[in-house]
Structure 1
């Protein structure tokens, strides 16, 4: 199960409340999934004013006088969301009292259904909730609401921080136009939720909080034929404490990322309501899982005479696919590997890898007899009878694969080669066809 699969399943279990980013971090740290993690940078947040909803602001000594049992050392020293407390509500709906009441009601309702309820996050709320920002966007109304809570270790979870901390909710209109909390968060020392996606009809608006840092957004990771990848970030401009970006129709929500600019390492900012199927995202655009999850390091010979490559085929492929031009959030490595020898004697290793929430991609790693190495990459073709077919460089043919399939090839309409199970190296030529026998059917695939 990939990170995207786990997060979507958890989200479904708690209805409209998105599983917190910290939860995935704990699961990942426990080794439940085969994800490589690089490094996590801490986001420094500057204080930004926000507003009280239906209550007088309680700050400083007067505030702490209400919670005398909280040790002074734990009083908002690690509060990642403290910048959401204090000041006037921002946004063009700041004076819409009816809407603000609806947001507050949605916040209260969410506390009874969220996974964080089991953690005791809302057992000791302090004071009244405050709306930091409320606005009307092309994607519909949206708001960010916050409240103090006296966090204490709970039977169901050991919190990273205890004491008075700020908890927050991210609110959008549901399909019936009612404000609904799509994510609720508390300080955990890890990722910071800094925005959300609001959706209305075909319009989707990215709303990003102003944390006092230069920040940019990226619509997608760009993949190159040589196996590397990178992101390009457009700087965000903030007004009234947020930046609004109307997302183009072809942007996949799971691929959107927010990062401080210039970016260094992986981002530690999270977007609410931007996961698979959020806002009616078409299913065929959010497929992220690997082709074959259950093979547990299977190795498939693609040619004769490659026995010496079998023992380290999977390890070699995983090490090779770590080559990227920047640090990515996480990678789901291939559960299988093909290996063989090409026409010029190069060792060839074939497999897949999934980065972030992107669709899995195919990678081939080649090492020549002189020690020269190359990495090439291409997309998976899930609609084909041959989902893995990748052209190799320098006229070395094609690497193809289909789990539980018998594969053979011919060129120029000639005779078919001897069938091989699961994976195959196909020599270069004209009018190249692969015959795929699988699941009781036979399909012919032309390689171009």
Structure 2
């Protein structure tokens, strides 16, 4: 989907809402975390409307997919969490009556402080709460508790239809070793089911439910490669309908994913993983240059490349999308793009991309005359360096370099300096190449390797 298409769909869906000028760039894809954990932040709410539109399919036959808007009341025909009501309590703590009572008490006392409290989902509870699973984990005792409720239309609820639905709660150990409600959920349209949660303090565990009997895996981290980013998923083994995995002490919870297998495309979307960290109040922006002049700036790096300028923005995003971890919650795209033509006629694009809460990384994209595309990751840029962006291109095509607002020229050895270019330049391959960077009346020379 191009930016134009995305903006048109956003406009049709959230007409009247003012969003930042760079919103389309900041969030190209949306996961459940932004829908669930950040939906109380006004900026995030706007972001989510866009994210759902741009978005990924949802795994599993019972998972719902709707827009991020209040739906008209209608009869509920599915109960996605209803499978948890069937049968007796499972898990190795299923006979621990004292713990089961504690779990139910925690659930009953949690509604007033729930992040879903102002959605009215607890206003019409039906029957008694039931512990669907309770077990020991490396992160302490944990449990899954469910209760039915009649969901009515509400001014702050995402509702697929009025009627009885099953609510779910996840109880586990907090950092102080106390049992607490980690999170609760209801079947909000467009967000899928919450099938996993993290329990524990210094020692943590991942608990994953299996609603379908299919194959599932977990990925502890995103892997950055020389040409993009990817993931490796380890298969999960289930017992009593749940898989429990010990997590390393330094695990990055923002990067942790659970997905149906094979997890190779956005359509096999990662499930939400809940934890009890505080809800963020802002979406971080780790990009190198957040406010180039103008925004969405295009910087010519060579002569003879004017035809690239019009489509450079979409071309760069589409190229990076094709080599990016498909299970990303949010993508902050480049607000600046360098473009040019290399010695062998390849079309060159230069920009940055930040995934979720990861540091931004810079990328060069080459498309050869025969149509072959090559993406080169230049790593995390150093904003304080005289030349923050410097990427060596393959096949002797030189270096793509950039420094916003700087005058850039190059030479080889003791040769003459080239004519300068503003912001970005392609340095053709050559021995002992160096770049002269003049910014704010200060000049520095950087050797290229």
TM range (shorter): 0.7 to 0.9
**Residue 422 (structure 1) aligns with:** 423
Of the three residues 266, 269, 273, the one matched with 1:267 is 269
The equivalent residue for 1:396 is: 397
For residues 238-387 of structure 1, the aligned pairs below 5 Å read 238-248=238-248, 251-263=251-263, 265-273=267-275, 289-295=286-292, 296-324=295-323, 327-329=326-328, 331-355=331-355, 358-369=358-369, 371-382=371-382, 385=385, 386-387=387-388
Alignment of 1:197-236 (within 5 A): 197-201=198-202, 203-211=203-211, 212-227=213-228, 229-236=229-236
Deviation readout 1:280-326 (Å, 9 max, x if unpaired) = xxxxxx98743334454211122344333322221222232232488
Query: What is the alpha-carbon distance in structure 2 between the residues aligned to residue 139 and residue 19 of structure 1?
Result: 26
**Residue number in structure 2 paired with 1:148:** 148
Cα gap change, 1:160 to 1:205, in 2 (>3 Å): same
Cα drift, residue 403 of structure 1: 3.2
Deviations along 1:406-436, one digit per CA (max 9) or x if unpaired, are 4444544666555543322223344444455
Distance 2:444 2:121 in 1: 56
SS class of match (2:80): coil
Q: Are the aligned partners of 1:196 and 1:274 in contact in 2 as well (CA < 8 Å)?
A: no
1:66 is matched with: none
TM-score by structure 1 length?
Answer: 0.75
Q: In 2 relative to 1, CA 7–445 (structure 1 residues): closer, same or farther, beyond 3 Å? A: farther
Rounded to whole Å, the distance in 2 between the matches of 1:250 and 1:192 is 27
- Please give the alpha-carbon distance, in whole angstroms, between the structure 2 residues aligned to 1:151 and 1:269: 23
- Corresponding residue of 2:163: 163
SS of residue matched to 1:253: coil
Kept in 1, the 8 Å contact 2:182–2:276? The answer is no
| Cα pair distance change 1:177/1:343, threshold 3 Å | same
The 3 A distance-change label for structure 1 pair 38 and 238 is: closer
- Number of the residue aligned with 1:106: 106
Distance 1:384 1:175, change over 3 A: same
Looking at structure 2, the residues matched to 9 and 387 of structure 1 have their Cα atoms a distance apart, in angstroms, of 32
The alignment of Structure 1 onto Structure 2 pairs a total of residues equal to: 405
CA contact (8 A) 1:254 1:358 kept: no
Structure 2: unaligned runs, 5 residues or longer: 1-22, 64-72
CA distance in 2, matches of 1:8, 1:429: 48
Q: Distance in 1 between matches of 2:53 and 2:359?
A: 15
Native 8 Å contact 1:42 1:268 kept in 2: no
Task: Confirm or deny: 8 A CA contact 1:435 1:442 kept in the other structure.
Answer: yes
CA contact (8 A) 2:410 2:427 kept: yes
The residue aligned with 2:131 is: 131
The verdict on how the C-alpha distance between 1:442 and 1:325 changes in structure 2, with shifts beyond 3 A counting, is closer
Aligned residue number for residue 282 of structure 1: none
* Paired position in structure 2 for 1:172: 172
Q: What whole-Å deviation, never above 9, does each CA across 1:107-166 have from its counterpart, x for those lacking one?
A: 334322333222211111112222222333222333222211110111223511321111
CA distances 1:335-368 after superposition (whole Å, capped 9, x unpaired): 2211122233432111123456654433322234
Q: Supply the distance in 2 between the matched residues of 1:100 and 1:233 (Cα, whole angstroms).
A: 33
- Give the SS at the match of 1:254: coil
Bigger mean CA offset, 209-218 vs 380-389 = 380-389
Q: Are the counterparts in 2 of residues 38 and 329 from structure 1 also a CA contact under 8 Å? A: no
Conservation of the 8 A alpha-carbon contact between 2:216 and 2:236: yes
Q: Secondary structure at the match of 2:106?
A: helix
Q: Equivalents in 1 of 2:156, 2:60: separation in Å?
A: 26
- Indicate how the Cα distance of structure 1 residues 6 and 406 shifts in structure 2: closer, same or farther if over 3 A, else same: farther
What SS does the corresponding residue of 1:177 show, helix, strand or coil? coil
Q: Distance in 1 between matches of 2:110 and 2:31?
A: 18
Between 131-140 and 208-217, the greater mean CA deviation after superposition: 131-140
Q: Secondary structure at the match of 2:254?
A: helix
Decide whether aligned partners of structure 1 residues 97 and 219 sit closer, same or farther in structure 2, where only a CA change above 3 A counts.
same
Can you list the C-alpha shifts for 1:194-224, whole angstroms capped at 9, x where unaligned? 11122422x3321111222221112234444
**CA–CA distance in 2 between the matches of 1:94 and 1:137?**
14
User: Which residue of the partner structure matches residue 19 of structure 2?
Assistant: none
Q: More displaced, 383-392 or 164-173?
A: 383-392
Root-mean-square deviation (Å): 4.0
